Amino acid sequence: MVQASWSPGNSDTAPRQAVSRRLSVAHRPGAVGGRGGLPPAGLAVPHRAERGALIPYRAIRQYPAGKAAFETATTRETRLRKIALFNHKGGVSKTTTVFNLGWMLANLGHRVLMVDSDPQCNLTGMVLGFKGADELEEFYEKQGQNTFRSGLVPAFEAQPKEIQAVKTVEVAGRPGLHLLAGDLRLSEFEVTLGLAQELSAAIGALQNLPGSLSFLIDKTASAISADYVLIDMSPGLGSINQNLVVTSDYLILPTSPDVFSVMAIDSLARVLPRWKKWADQASRLPVLQQAAYPFPPPRLKILGTVVQKFRPRSGKPAKAFQKWIDEVGEAVGKRLKPAMAAEHMLLDDQTYAAAGVDASLNLATIGDFNGLISRSQEFLTPIFALTAPQLKSGGAVLENTEASRDRFYADFEAFANRVIAMTEDEGVK
């Protein structure tokens, strides 16, 4: 059902670099994507992948029989694009959005890494189809060394070895879509990272922590030659979320049509500029520049919002929901955008316009999935990718259900194409 995809940096037969002392300024990891092991047959990974840089590579993508009917060899240039999906308000479908957007981007020909940074591990459970605590516990007993948290252990526990790419899970039925699994224990690093981000200028022992999260994600993404990284995040304003947001290239804000999402937008208009200013200062600190995992200069840009979880009527939001959709758009246009512009966190107007994004920065408006959600969960497949047999209906009911599925496909395809348009040839304001 799910195939584990070994990353080049973790080959058991690969030569290992001897490390006899703790990471320090004198002992720095090689560049992301460096030769920590031999690449799998048929795949030549880039020898270097600096954040935001163009990475030339030649890849022969070989999928197991039955997963794809083709083997392609391509030569191209790609730039890894990291997108955080974040809102400190809960219940706005962040996890579902990551899964559906990631699947659609892969469906459109891109290689995608989904990162589960939420200690609740909902994305991991969604991808692997866990139906209870026993299955979750079994996964961590067998694969606990292959999670987002485990990849960070060398930095957070000062182990005498460098961070390596983590083995990812390739999502069943969608070649090119991978998961970096979450870990319930990731929250144990929250306080330590918070101290590092406040005190690293004074305490050199913490200098390797702020840049380690970005380093691990970049290295794991490079190992699978990813084009996009989508980061699923927990609700909250803690140090892990702060770090992941400011070291991403782009930000998408999932929302729902209610007063709490309006309040969350107003709050983010105050919080995000503070985070950006901190990142600007942190990236210039000599102690973080000289760390084993240097903290990268921020280049975060806001892509826009997604509004979900409302009941449509005749294909459009009901009047009560439309009121709050408009309120969310007004909060973005009048309060969030000016705050982002002041910190150079917007793309230029032409980039938004070319992607069909208006002044409210709305990327997509997607209604409730209703009865289709149970089929999606049963088959570990996005609603828009369900086949007729999976829909388990017949006659007029099947026709209506297929029509609903096709509308969701069109919505997510348009959403993904807007993301692609804004990130392939961006303009910075």
pLDDT for the residue numbered 124: 93
Sheet holding 177-180, edge to edge: 3-5, 168-170, 177-180, 112-116, 228-232, 81-85, 250-255, 301-308, 362-366
Domain ranges of the chain: 80-424
pLDDT for the residue numbered 238: 96
Provide CB contacts within 8 A for 369, sequence distance 6+.
Answer: 376, 383, 408
Q: Which fold has domain 80-424?
A: Rossmann fold (3.40.50)
Q: How far apart are CA 354 and CA 214, in angstroms?
A: 30
pLDDT for the residue numbered 180: 98
> For the chain, what is the mean pLDDT?
80
pLDDT averages per 10-residue partition of the chain, 429 residues? 38 32 31 31 32 31 29 48 93 89 97 97 90 78 89 95 96 95 95 89 82 98 98 96 98 93 96 98 94 96 88 62 89 97 97 95 85 78 85 75 86 96 69
Tokens describing residue 382? 């996005």
pLDDT for the residue numbered 48: 30
Q: How far apart are CA 236 and CA 4, in angstroms?
A: 31
Do residues 179 and 168 make contact, with C-beta atoms less than 8 angstroms apart? Answer: yes
The three-state secondary structure class of 313 is strand
pLDDT tens column, 160-198 = 899 999 999 999 999 999 999 999 899 999 999 999 998
pLDDT for the residue numbered 57: 26
pLDDT for the residue numbered 39: 29
Length of the chain: 429
pLDDT for the residue numbered 255: 94
